Amino acid sequence: MLSERRLEVLRAIVQDYVGTEEPVGSKVLTERHNLKVSPATVRNDMAALEDEGYIAQPHTSAGRIPTDKGYRLFVDKLAGVKPLSSPERRAIQNFLDGAVDLDDVVGRTVRLLAQLTRQVAVVQYPSLTRSTVRHVELLGLAPARLMLVLITDTGRVEQRLIDCPAPIGETVLADLRARLNSRVVGQRFTEVPSLVQDLPEAFDADDRATISTVLATLLETLVEETEERLMIGGTANLTRFGHDFPLTIRPVLEALEEQVVLLKLLGEAKDSGMTVRIGHENQHEGLSSTSVVSVGYGSGDEAVAKLGVVGPTRMDYPGTMGAVRAVARYVGQILAES
Amino acid sequence: MLSERRLEVLRAIVQDYVGTEEPVGSKVLTERHNLKVSPATVRNDMAALEDEGYIAQPHTSAGRIPTDKGYRLFVDKLAGVKPLSSPERRAIQNFLDGAVDLDDVVGRTVRLLAQLTRQVAVVQYPSLTRSTVRHVELLGLAPARLMLVLITDTGRVEQRLIDCPAPIGETVLADLRARLNSRVVGQRFTEVPSLVQDLPEAFDADDRATISTVLATLLETLVEETEERLMIGGTANLTRFGHDFPLTIRPVLEALEEQVVLLKLLGEAKDSGMTVRIGHENQHEGLSSTSVVSVGYGSGDEAVAKLGVVGPTRMDYPGTMGAVRAVARYVGQILAES
DNA sequence: GCTTGGCACTCTGCAGGCCGGAGTGCCAAG
DNA sequence: CTTGGCACTCCGGCCTGCAGAGTGCCAAGC
């Protein structure tokens, strides 16, 4: 087991390296952090830490830098979550309060998060899975052509065009609309299928085919749209990544363009609490020198989606985690109000 | 005026430089393009072209590279638009044909364009300005709370929440819905204000305030949503930009995140035909070493929005223009069909 | 047994100097 | 106007040397 002091040395190394971006040696370490031991002692500790795989040297006679494993230990045991200052919190609130609709909320959140952390921000649109139905609308566009509009409690609107097998009358449509809404409004998406199952039976045989089509489309929408959309921002911050640009930044940009990758990334994170994935812990190869800090957010106690940031493994974890958590909370509040 | 041969020399310089990314000298020029004159002669021509500001040398005793002015002349007079090969055209068609809704069309277009040109692609969502109304829907969510849903002929859906000054009855609402639709369906957005102006008069005094609110919201939506949304993709291609990374790429990424900048960029382009803005011709400073190739696209003969690519001034203009034009055409077709 | 100072060693990064290559500009001849 | 010749310039690569930072190890001290 690592002694208390060695952990302290590791913490000091991580903090220094994150600050300076340069390998850190035993001398500066004793100077900057009052470790109360000599450089020689620290060197011994560093040798031990290196044996255990927590730090590494880029080349002989250079200082040490933390490994993924070192960051992991730092995040798990050595670092807390740094709360934001109250001006920062006020700024968040003010900035988010100005949002006019869901798109705007997500857009603002992305920008905010990118700005606060100076990293790439990723925000998932609230998922439909855990949402409830606020309203279902059916519009007759033509005799045998309908539009289905689904409105969720998170303010999301989905629409689908439906080609009916047979024309449907206005009164039947109104009837269907009314029955549909009385059954599903306020209900969870997952409940909807069983709630509408027997609806066609209430109608004339002539209309049943059409009504089944409508219901099928509705259910499809619920399922399909569970594949999330997301928004990213702050990619310009990637330029602060390192000195060896093209090689580092390219795969990251590519990964960010693949929504599938990002969704998988967020999906792998825990549903509650904050998740930090460091370097190679991310499956995706292009992201092997980045860390992802993510957290769920939601209007109630349950998370309806996730948000987070992607940055270099060498990042300010406490600060980033603080910002991510704070933003998630405020977004949750905003969603709950609307 | 520049002689025929000098123009030929300029063309050769542009082509070579675009291909090799290196300043091009008189010797290789005579070798690679059969100019039928000696290097010395070409040197004289180059000196003349430099005097006129079409080319420049990075430093004494280096080859020449085209200036913005040189590219301008090249694009205007020396280069055509390179048509795509038929496999390429087929690929475009196949790829776009799979789209299921408007979002998907735009998304696929962006990816396609980025892939074809190996540059950053920008696609504007079809504008509401020139669109017509397909349907307006009013939903009563609560006694004094409505939702307005606007559906356009391009398949776009906008929704707004409305807090009414007074509760409104279902029958009145149905009446309003019917009247509203009978007046505005099929009409251009620009016509709508005059068409609905006198609508409140048809209703009881009690309801007029509410109805005015609804109409105001509708008009607001029409105006506000004329600010376009857009989608960008292929940012990973920025890494192919040049060797002097951070300085070049950063401002570009920043500009790309500012939708306002991009919209202005596209907005400045001609409504019909292709627009090429080269280097400093773009107002935005961050884009001073990039060129923007854009073109309008639309479902009919009129453009409803624009799309284009952003790349280094040193780009393959004929090829890029060909790809942009072709994609715009196919997208137009897709929109017309749906 | 841990801590410490000392010391030799290694490696990077930078500055300076050298050289070859590529390209130019100019000139005089065709 | 075109061409070959020639002197000149400048970049980029390469080597060298040197200072600085950092390490590992050892022997002495607490």
The residue whose two tokens read 């489309």 is A217
Boundary of a domain, candidates B225, B246, B277: B225
In whole numbers, what is the pLDDT of chain B averaged over residues?
A: 87
Mean pLDDT, residues A4-16? 94
Q: What is the pLDDT, as a whole number, of residue A227? A: 59
Contact B257/A234, CB-based, under 8 Å?
yes
| Residue B196 · residue B184 · CB < 8 Å | yes
Q: In which domain, by residue range, is B250 found? A: 86-126+228-337
The structural domain count of chain B equals 3
A107 shares its domain with A190 = no
Boundary of a domain, candidates A59, A77, A95: A77
Give the contacts of A102 (CB within 8 A, at least 6 positions apart).
Answer: A125, A126, A154, A155, A156
Contact B245/A246, CB-based, under 8 Å?
yes
Element (H, E) at A308: strand A305-312
- Measured from the Cβ of residue B218, the count of other Cβ atoms closer than 10 Å reads 23
Q: Which residues of A touch B (CB under 8 A)?
A: 101, 134-135, 137, 139, 141, 147, 149, 151, 157, 159, 233-236, 238-239, 245-246, 249-250, 253-254, 256-257
Boundary of a domain, candidates B164, B193, B225: B225
As a 3-state breakdown, chain B gives helix, strand, coil percent values, each rounded to 5, of: 55, 20, 30
B241 shares its domain with B321 = yes
A35-39, A191-195, B245-249, B324-328: least confident range: B245-249
Element (H, E) at A137: strand A133-142
B152 vs A contacts (CB less than 8 Å): none
The CATH number of the domain holding residue A63 is 1.10.10.10
**Chain B nearest C-alpha distance from A71 (Å):** 27
B41 contact to strand D (CB, 7 A limit): yes
Mean pLDDT, residues B254-276? 88
The CATH number of the domain holding residue B271 is 3.30.450.40
Mean pLDDT, residues B111-123? 96
Q: What is the pLDDT, as a whole number, of residue B81? A: 94
Q: How far apart are CA B82 and CA A311, in angstroms?
A: 41
B156 shares its domain with B120 = no
**Chain A nearest C-alpha distance from B51 (Å):** 36
Q: How confident is the model at residue B198 (pLDDT cuts 50, 70, 90)?
A: confident
Is the whole-model pTM more than 0.85? no
B307 shares its domain with B323 = yes
- Please determine, for residue A9, whether its predicted confidence score (pLDDT) is greater than 90: yes
In whole numbers, what is the pLDDT of chain A averaged over residues?
A: 88
Distance measured from the CA of protein residue B293 to the C1' of nucleotide D13, in angstroms: 39
The CATH number of the domain holding residue A170 is 3.30.390.60
| Residue B115 · residue B96 · CB < 8 Å | no
B191 shares its domain with B159 = yes
B241 shares its domain with B95 = yes
A212 shares its domain with A134 = yes
A37-51, A107-121, B70-84, B226-240: least confident range: B226-240
Q: Considering just the CA atoms, what is the radius of gyration of chain B in Å? A: 26
A188 shares its domain with A316 = no
Mean pLDDT, residues B47-59? 94
Q: What is the pLDDT, as a whole number, of residue A99? A: 81
Q: How far apart are CA B33 and CA B24, in angstroms?
A: 12
Q: Which residues of B touch A (CB under 8 A)?
A: 134-135, 137, 139, 141, 147, 149, 151, 157, 159-160, 233-236, 238-239, 245-246, 249-250, 253-254, 256-257
Q: What is the pLDDT, as a whole number, of residue B225? A: 61
A289 shares its domain with A276 = yes
| Residue B253 · residue B262 · CB < 8 Å | no
- Please determine, for residue A212, whether its predicted confidence score (pLDDT) is greater than 80: yes
- A325-334 pLDDT, tens digit per residue, is 999 999 999 8
B162 shares its domain with B279 = no
Contact B239/A253, CB-based, under 8 Å?
yes
A332 shares its domain with A202 = no
- Please determine, for residue A224, whether its predicted confidence score (pLDDT) is greater than 70: no
Q: How far apart are CA B12 and CA B15, in angstroms?
A: 5
Query: In the A/B pair of chains, how many CB contacts fall below 8 A?
Result: 64
- Please determine, for residue A322, whether its predicted confidence score (pLDDT) is greater than 80: yes
- Please determine, for residue B143, whether its predicted confidence score (pLDDT) is greater than 90: no
Question: Which nucleotide, over all strands, has the C1' atom closest to the CA of A27?
Answer: D22
B206 shares its domain with B136 = yes
Contact B257/A249, CB-based, under 8 Å?
no
Q: What is the pLDDT, as a whole number, of residue B219? A: 86
